[in-house]
Structure 1
Amino acid sequence: MNKLLMVLGSSVMLLAACGGEEVTDEGDETEEDQEFTLEELGEYDGQDGNEAYVAVDGVVYDVTDVEEWEDGVHDPAGGLEAGDDHTEEIEEAPHGTDVLEDLPTVGTLEE
C-alpha cells in the first residue's frame, strides 16, 4: 500500500510540475514571419543596442551575434553595414552565400 501511495504521490507531483498549460502557437507571430521594408531593415543596424540584420536574396538574417559583424559593421568586407540589402556584395565575397546557412532568419525583405 505504501508503494502505491508513493507512486500516486510522485505522479501527482510530476503532473503539477508540468503545469498543465496548453502550449499553442496559434496566432503568435514569430520573428521569422516578419516582412521588412528597406527602411525598416535600416533600423536593425547593430548600433546603440539594436539587433543587426542583413538581407540577401530577399531573406533577412540576424547577424547580431556574428563576430565579424561586431557593432553592425562587417570589417573584413570593407566596412559593410548591417541594416541593408547586401545581395550584390555577397556575390562578390570570397565566402559566397555558404556563410548564411547557419544564420537565424528573421523574415523577408519586401519587394
Structure 2
Amino acid sequence: TVLYDMVTVLCDTVTVLCDIVTVLCDTVTVLCDTVTVLCDTVTVLCDTVTVLCDTVTVLCDTVTVLCDTVTVTVLCDMVTVLCDTVTVLCDIVTVLCDIVTVLLCDT
C-alpha cells in the first residue's frame, strides 16, 4: 500500500502540473492573440499617419512654390511655420511607430 500511495500522489502531482501547464499555454495564447490585434491596429494607425504626413508634405511643398511666386509674406510665414511644425510632428510619430512596430510585431 505504501507504493500504491506514493504512485497515487505522484499521479495527482503530475495531473496538477499538467493543469498548470494548460493554464499557462492558454494564457500565452490569449496574450499572443492580443499582441497580434494590437500589432494590426498599430500598423493601420501608422499607415494612416504615413499617408497623412505624405499628403501634408505635398501640400506644404505646393504652398512653398506658391509663396515663392506670390508675395503674401505674413500668410506665407505662418504657413511655413505650420508646415515645419507638422513635419517635426510627423517625424516624431514615424519614429514612435517604428519603435512600437518593432516591440509589438517583430518580437
Decide: shared fold, TM above 0.5. Answer: no
TM-score in terms of structure 1 length: 0.31
Q: Which has the higher contact order (CA 8 A, sep 6+)?
A: 2
Higher strand share: 1
Higher helix share: 2
Bigger radius of gyration among the two: 2
